Amino acid sequence: MEKDNEKKSYLDDWENMDWNNAEGFAEAGIKHHLENIGLEHLAERGAILDIGCGDGKLLAELAKIYPNARFFGLSSDVEAAKRNNPEAEIRNGQFSSLPFDNASMDLAISSRIFDYAEEAKIGLYFQTFKIRELASEIYRVLIPGGLYMPLELMIDDYFSQEDWSFFNEHFKCLSSISPGQVKILQKC
């Protein structure tokens, strides 16, 4: 019964989370979600990649939670990301061609990058990517059994099943919370 209360509390935290607060986001959005499905060990000592890490604040918060992990980021502002997390290896690059080795990451995360996907049809950004290209790259850089956590506001509202076909074919969905906000996908 106590486990149910913990889960409810965790879900309440998630529902009320401030998406602009890196500390709360790392704790409620990543740590608790991995604990909830029993796979936190992948983050504890593994290689964690933040795709589109921006200023690196989320990586810095994750480094406090997982001090034995290795951190990597993809950012268009490498200097700012390194300032906030000097221990992380930050690289500039494209979502459709991640500048990391094959099978080198245990956990990949992304936060609010799907607004840039061509399939989103928002039209706010000049640089876009195709979901299938990103999915293929995430698959390439993850170890067998590695996890991908897209942390987004409304994944299911933006995209059709066809848009997500590569994810559906090559990843197993282990968990989904607040429909369309967080999924934990495991590389098959």
Quote the CA–CA distance of 95 and 115 in Å, as a whole number: 13
pTM summary value: 0.84
Residue 54 belongs to some domain of the structure: yes
CATH code for the domain in which residue 84 is found: 3.40.50.150
187: how many CB neighbours lie within 10 A of its CB? 20
Q: 163 or 88: which carries more pLDDT confidence?
A: 88
Q: Which of 40-44, 75-79, 107-111, 113-117 has the lowest mean pLDDT?
A: 113-117
Residue 170 belongs to some domain of the structure: yes
Quote the CA–CA distance of 96 and 73 in Å, as a whole number: 15
Which whole-number Å values give the CA distances from 150 to 56, 153, 176, 183, 185, in the listed order?
16, 10, 10, 6, 8
Residue 20 belongs to some domain of the structure: no
Residue 84 belongs to some domain of the structure: yes
Region 83-105: what's the mean pLDDT? 95
Residue 13 belongs to some domain of the structure: no
Domain count, the chain: 1
In this prediction, residue 36 carries a pLDDT of 85
Query: Could you read off the pLDDT of 149-162 as tens digits, one per residue?
Result: 987 766 666 677 78
Query: Could you read off the pLDDT of 39-64 as tens digits, one per residue?
Result: 988 899 999 999 999 999 989 989 99
Region 136-146: what's the mean pLDDT? 97
In this prediction, residue 181 carries a pLDDT of 64
Residue 27 belongs to some domain of the structure: no
In this prediction, residue 28 carries a pLDDT of 66
Residue 174 belongs to some domain of the structure: yes
In this prediction, residue 46 carries a pLDDT of 95
Domain housing 52: 40-187
Residue 3 belongs to some domain of the structure: no
Q: Which of 59-63, 143-147, 181-185 has the lowest mean pLDDT?
A: 181-185
